[in-house]
Chains A and B, each alone.
Chain A
């Protein structure tokens, strides 16, 4: 969640330079974290949320990558918004994400090989993330560069936040670890919690439990904020 707090600190530090962070702009950044969360409210980006949340570390890596790609991608699309022909705008968006991701991948492979190995799976997954296309289409095509950047970072951070919450529960209950550390004891040696008969829930590491965990989060979120509940 480091990137979330970082963003907030930045907001405060730069505040005097209005109107960069007017109330409206700040909302762009903070809304997607809770009341307009891309996963729980907009229900975007579910696929990747299922795929990588079995452990905390990949979730965090994925979150950071998506923050980067969405921030930059939104800027590029926003810059080109007046010259993109509307008939092929989806293709243009796709090309922008794909090109961006490939360049990042190549540069990492050349200069940070170990990091790129860790990211390898996610780099491919970023392209397929519907949040990115969704925000390009819904926001960056109609808004200025700065606003689009904030929207991109905000949505990616909201996505990342959810990813990390889900991964926390899945790794803890599924494998009994956090970041790979055995926080509940050793299941083979039967130490810690396992000594009194606790067992890991193997179902938690499988994809369906990610969906159920997201469902529970949606439930909790909507029961706390009734305004989010749809009428029908």
Chain B
């Protein structure tokens, strides 16, 4: 060793140099890859929305459409049928795709008077309409999100997709599994009287095969109570925000 690494001045210089080198390295990586990462995220969002309306990979219905095809299929099935809902009114705009529920949530949190912009996508497949609502909530460790597709009467779920950032593998992470999400299909979000109920992820539902579609509940995942409750809250709150708009449409 040519120098004394114990000296304070050396330690200081080393620390500063390390921060500079690592900092610029990370900044360089982040900025040079940003465009690609953003493009990937767009594609993923398109895949998610398509998935919720049942447009999936031709060979495996539990897989997304191929990333290369996402844009093309999105244009075909959803296209410009994108709306921003504010209160009871919808405005048709392609900007809906860029709206992030998370950012809207943050804005509402900062300013209680803020009028939330709610994106709504209307997909058409085989002559049927799918009203696709993006959702976002919290699980046990971090954010969870998803997309729910409703039928043209805004009362029955026709498709759902859930994802998470950091839920426990094998427990909460199973919300992405087909056996969980497919339980939502056909489930009603209104009760018999037509009031909004949402869908509850319920323990002791005594309906593991989910044959009762009008009980506003699906069977919970074992060992994932908090993630399940997170899904319940996310679905209930997420769809409820659109109810004023759906009410005006029904009239």
In angstroms, Cα B1 to Cα A202, docked, is 57
Chain B CB within 8 A of A130 CB: no
Q: List chain B residues, Cβ under 8 A from A109.
A: 33, 37, 40
Chain A CB within 8 A of B18 CB: yes
CB distance from B201 to the nearest CB of A (A): 17
Chain B CB within 8 A of A85 CB: yes
**Which applies to chain B's interface (DSSP): helix, strand, loop or mixed?**
helix
Q: Verify A107–B33 contact, CB threshold 8 A.
A: yes
Cβ 8 A contact of B169, one of A52, A102, A107, A113: A52
Chain B CB within 8 A of A171 CB: yes
Contact indicator per residue, chain A 78-116, by CB within 8 Å of chain B (1) or not (0):
000011111110011001000100110011011101100
Chain A CB within 8 A of B209 CB: yes
Cβ 8 A contact of B37, one of A102, A103, A110: A110
Q: Verify A58–B170 contact, CB threshold 8 A.
A: yes
Which residue of chain B lies nearest to A189 when distances are taken between CB atoms in the complex? Answer: B209
Q: Verify A106–B170 contact, CB threshold 8 A.
A: no
Q: Verify A86–B6 contact, CB threshold 8 A.
A: yes
Contact indicator per residue, chain B 207-220, by CB within 8 Å of chain A (1) or not (0):
01100000000000
Cβ 8 A contact of A121, one of B18, B26, B33, B169: B169
Interface size on B, residues (CB 8 A): 32
Q: Verify A54–B18 contact, CB threshold 8 A.
A: no
In angstroms, Cα B209 to Cα A141, docked, is 57
CB distance from B204 to the nearest CB of A (A): 14
Contact indicator per residue, chain B 21-44, by CB within 8 Å of chain A (1) or not (0):
010011001100100110010011
Chain A CB within 8 A of B168 CB: yes
Cβ 8 A contact of B223, one of A91, A121, A188, A205: A205
Which residue of chain A lies nearest to B3 when distances are taken between CB atoms in the complex? Answer: A83
Chain A CB within 8 A of B93 CB: no
Chain B CB within 8 A of A65 CB: no
Chain A CB within 8 A of B244 CB: no
Q: Verify A87–B165 contact, CB threshold 8 A.
A: no
In angstroms, Cα B23 to Cα A139, docked, is 26
With A103-B26, A113-B67, A120-B166 as known contacts, state yes or no: A85 contacts B11, CB within 8 Å.
yes
Q: Verify B36–A111 contact, CB threshold 8 A.
A: yes
Cβ < 8 Å to A, chain B residues 199-249: 208-209, 222-223
Q: List chain B residues, Cβ under 8 A from A174.
A: 170
CB distance from B128 to the nearest CB of A (A): 29
In angstroms, Cα B26 to Cα A29, docked, is 31
With A92-B18, A111-B36 as known contacts, state yes or no: A124 contacts B169, CB within 8 Å.
no
Q: Verify A51–B36 contact, CB threshold 8 A.
A: no
**8 examples of A-B residue contacts, CB within 8 angstroms:** A52-B170, A82-B5, A84-B5, A106-B29, A107-B33, A109-B40, A117-B44, A206-B223
Counting from the closest, the 7 A-B pairs by CB-CB distance are A54-B170, A110-B36, A85-B11, A110-B33, A58-B169, A113-B40, A55-B170
